[in-house]
Structure 1
Amino acid sequence: MSAAHPEPIAILRGTAVGALSAGLAFAAHGMGGGPAPPPSALVLLLIVCAGLGAVVASIPAHRHGRMYLTAALGAGQLLGHVALSATAHAHSAVPPVAMLLAHTAAAVLCAALVAGAERLYWPMVRVLRVILRNPTPLTPHGPSPVLVPVHSDPVDALLRVSISRRGPPVRI
């Protein structure tokens, strides 16, 4: 498909990479000892990760694989760390080992999750299409019309309706 009309699984991949990069960069940054970022850092993080997701969604399908996803998510973690560090706080250019390990583990774990979501995409679409498709009618014809008897005498019709047909109980 063209870049103007990416395939649905590419949109899924790009969205997942962008969203997971933002969320896990924030979480891994905090788990690795980084302080809570200000709102401006979070806005920058979302912009950077949305751009990464758009780039990942536009790459042709034949270049996808687990290593590609790991590299894309690793780039997302790196970009997320830079975005959070640029406005949030100042520390050395090399992050602490705990933070580096947290970012790396997040990238590898998310690559496995995105690859699993890609494998399940088309089977789930098929199941949903079967469930949501319009049922076929059981009979080839429409419903049969109900015939209501028309009484010419309105008094006769009123008496027929008002007279009870119930009798006394039957003893067994």
Structure 2
Amino acid sequence: MSPARSDATATLRGSAVGALSAGLAVAAHGAGGGGFPASAALTLLLFACCGVGAITANVPARFHSKSALLGALGLGQVAGHLTLTATAHVHAAIPAAAMLLAHAAATVVCALLIASAEQLYRSLVHVWRVVLRGEPRPVAVDAAPHHPAPRENPIDALLRASISRRGPPVLV
């Protein structure tokens, strides 16, 4: 039985970390001079990055921070690099400076993208839930429009106040 997650973005975070770790490991290796892997290496890379994404998705919500996201993406980059190195790959286990910089830049950029996507996802899910649930919203009551009385002549007002409206009794 899986523990209940209080964060609605846990699945999004795990999926994004797994997918971006795999894609960026290949891209960073290519940009860093490591070449592009064959299909067997890609298969192992996908399994490793799916594992990293699953672990990230099941981390309790109290550990969801930007530093934890950077750590998960860094773990994904390390897992991707080690997986690509373990297969018939061209370079040594310790990457060159250009490849390290490519991995680091990819990790930081992806962390920013995932954090932004989580924020957008939270906002959209909140709006969607409010719309679907039909939660009561405060209703603005429009008061009757106020029509100012026309400006009167002060003499007319004085005459109207001095004239009695009471008349003699009517005979029946």
TM-score normalized with structure 2 length: 0.70
TM alignment of 1:87-106, pairs within 5 A: 87-106=87-106
For 2:132 and 2:30, the matched residues in 1 are separated by 43
Residue identity (%): 56
- The reply to whether residue 113 of structure 1 matches residue 113 of structure 2 is yes
For 2:3 and 2:61, the matched residues in 1 are separated by 14
Whether the 8 Å CA contact 1:24–1:106 is kept in 2: the answer is: yes
Which residue matches 1:3? 2
Instruction: Describe the superposition over 1:50-92 as per-residue Cα deviations: whole angstroms up to 9, x where unpaired.
Output: 0001001111001111111111101101110111121131422
| One-letter code aligned to 1:13 | R
Distance apart, 1:93 and its partner CA: 2.3
TM alignment of 1:61-140, pairs within 5 A: 61-129=61-129
For 2:118 and 2:63, the matched residues in 1 are separated by 14
For 1:40 and 1:5, the matched residues in 2 are separated by 36
For 1:3 and 1:104, the matched residues in 2 are separated by 33
Structure 1 segments (4+ residues) deviating >4 Å = 129-134
The structure with the largest alpha-carbon Rg is 2
Greater Cα offset, 88-97 or 63-72: 88-97
Distance apart, 1:99 and its partner CA: 0.5
TM alignment of 1:33-52, pairs within 5 A: 33-52=33-52
Instruction: Describe the superposition over 1:88-117 as per-residue Cα deviations: whole angstroms up to 9, x where unpaired.
Output: 314222101100100011011111111111
Whether the 8 Å CA contact 1:25–1:103 is kept in 2: the answer is: yes
For 2:119 and 2:37, the matched residues in 1 are separated by 35
Greater Cα offset, 113-122 or 9-18: 113-122
Instruction: Describe the superposition over 1:14-45 as per-residue Cα deviations: whole angstroms up to 9, x where unpaired.
Output: 00100110111111110000122110000000
5+ residue gaps, structure 2, are 135-172
For 2:9, what is the secondary structure of its paired residue? helix
Distance apart, 1:127 and its partner CA: 3.2
| One-letter code aligned to 1:91 | H
